Structure 1
Amino acid sequence: MTADIWLGLISGTSMDGIDAVLVSFLPERIEIHKTLSHHYDPTLRQQLLRLSQNQGTPDDVGAIDQAVGKTFAEAACRVINGSGLNRDRIRAIGSHGQTIRHQPNGDQNFSLQIGDPNVIAERTGIQTVADFRRRDMAAGGQGAPMVPAFHRAWFGDEAEDRCIVNIGGITNITWLPAGDASAASGFDTGPGNALLDAWCLDQTGRPFDDNGDWARQGQIDQGLLEDMLTDAYFALPAPKSTGKERFNLEWIQTYRRRHPDTSPEDVQRTLLALTVETLNRQLPAGTPKTLYICGGGAQNQFLMECLRSNISAPIDTTDTLGLAPDWVEAVAFAWLARQTINGQPGNLPSVTGANSPKILGGIWPA
């Protein structure tokens, strides 16, 4: 019998574009049929960055929601057309959408992802599953991180303690104790690439620091680093999650004003050290474990060198586990769509803090 094919779409906190993947979930392995990275139009990306900082009207939100939905649909069509697969074989699209605001605490907690799934379903002719976070939040959870349930399902091991570390705009970890699926846990440790990208763009005009080459030119400003480490988020207990609402260019500038003599490249090096140190300080205590890195951070050679130099546990990437680091999150949202279509929960209450496992998202028919 031919395995079902699912399409995962995600744009993360880096807001650089959309990852699209066509994938089948076989009993013992994941089969990737086709992948694609689809970049945002620069004007749309700037609009998204402004929205994430509350710089936009309701009209702006509505118009950009439509524009992002069309861009997600375009990414889906491109990956399908490039695969040579018959569109009828694709059971569903799982669309994360683009987060423009994530406020998981307070009386009116919410998480807002745009990219209208009606547009995606209409333009692709494929049923679409989206809006994954809000049901978890309605059940008392943070609505994030969402991928640990997928990590547990596919990366958990009977013999090895594992920690899956996703370094996107924000860094999140999933702790998978050997042989005990019920003990899985995870949370956002803090910034991953978000601050590095924001400072690089502001100072150089480049959207990211390729391979960490600019950071490599600088030195850690220990006073600045220790000051940044006083941010209250890092000491919060789990469950916790965060985003660009907190860790953004203004956050950097607040600390830079207190350390005005730090050179731009030293700030970049210090921000990279912040990503490493906040991860290191928040790793679960106990049995030594292997850290498997995924997300864009796995492509930052200098960041990977610094992780290996400062963290005592062995460090590898999810390539070793059979899934390339660049595609873990897109595959995860294909898997979440599969969970929803099959009437299975997609959250992990031990991670998000929800009161129970929940079937996530809504379904937009073809």
Structure 2
Amino acid sequence: MQQDELLTKSVAEIIAKENLEKKLASGKKLRIKYGIDPTTPEIHLGHAVPIRKLAQFQQLGHKIVFLLGDFTAQIGDPSGKLKTRTALSSKQVEENAKTFLAQVFQILDPDATEVHRQSEWFGKMNLADFFGILSKVSVNVILSHETFKNRLSKDLPLAMHELIYPVLQGYDSVAVKADVEVGGQDQKFNLLMGRHIQRAFGQNQQEIVMTKYLLGTDGKEKMSKSLGNFIALTDSPDQMYGKVMSIPDELIVPYFELCTNISVKGLQLIKNEYKNSQARRDLKAKLGKLIVETYHHVAAAEASEEEFNKIFKNKEKPSVIAEVKISSKQAILADLLVELKLADSRSEAKRLILQGAVKVADKILKDPFVKIELANGAIVQVGKRKFAKVIL
């Protein structure tokens, strides 16, 4: 990993770049901080973008300080949100944290990673200590946060605990003595708060590396589990490959940059190939295989490509179809989809059926309320990717 790639590939902004370049040139082993709130048990490719940047720092010999926000996860980052997030219990946060690290260490070397939880310092503080931290930040600074200004201008609720979220994240940099903090570009205010509070506590200010954010598989919104447009690190090879193949063509180059280890020179070659619209399907297949190889292995990538082609090119059924035992051989179609877990709700099932996305025994059915009689082993298909075999 060359320094020019470290500071350019997948990077949206650096504060302050000249200072960071000097620190890197000094030969000092820097403490590179990254914090994440374990609000869900899964990490997706969007979360992985800054973590992959950490891995690049790690390859150059720097110490990664990986911070689990077990306190801030109970608040929920208000950045970009128009309403207060639902609070998580400490038990939920800890359960999520257990699976987080296993996924993180698919990308980072655990032996060269220092792991902390916020509870190591916030859990030991008394009220006087906490007020001491709050005294370092003015209300004017906090209310300059774009999210807070937006809420106030629209007369939307803004809770006190949300106002202190950036302060807590900022103090983390003091606690771990961060030289550099990595984060997504949507975290700019919170990352700058780290510099502000470090200065207030007499520490040298951390430099900031902000990574680009990854659009989800819909090509419209930032990747998010709540929007359903995500690719999880825990997805099976077939799921991962299939989701990559579903992305709009305009995401091919950004995904190569943000989700693979391709070099800057290699990325330029991809950009040149992309100009030929006939080459885009093959580029997407190459991308899918690279991503599957990263989180599984080469053989899994080869197998997932073969399976995908079998279903979508050759119009065959998947090699493996989940078998689901149902309570009766007669069922209302919309209810059947929910029972087979091919739809999350009756309303979603109704929508899919009306769209003509549902087949039973290779026959398209468009009446959500039709009562059908099922044979043992009947195949129910929703869209191109979801299948279930009925077991009576």
Structures share fold, TM-score greater than 0.5: no
TM score, norm. by length of structure 2:
0.27
Alignment TM-score, normalising by the size of structure 1: 0.28
More strand by share: 1
Higher relative contact order (CA 8 A, sep 6+): 1
Which of structures 1 and 2 has the bigger CA Rg?
A: 2
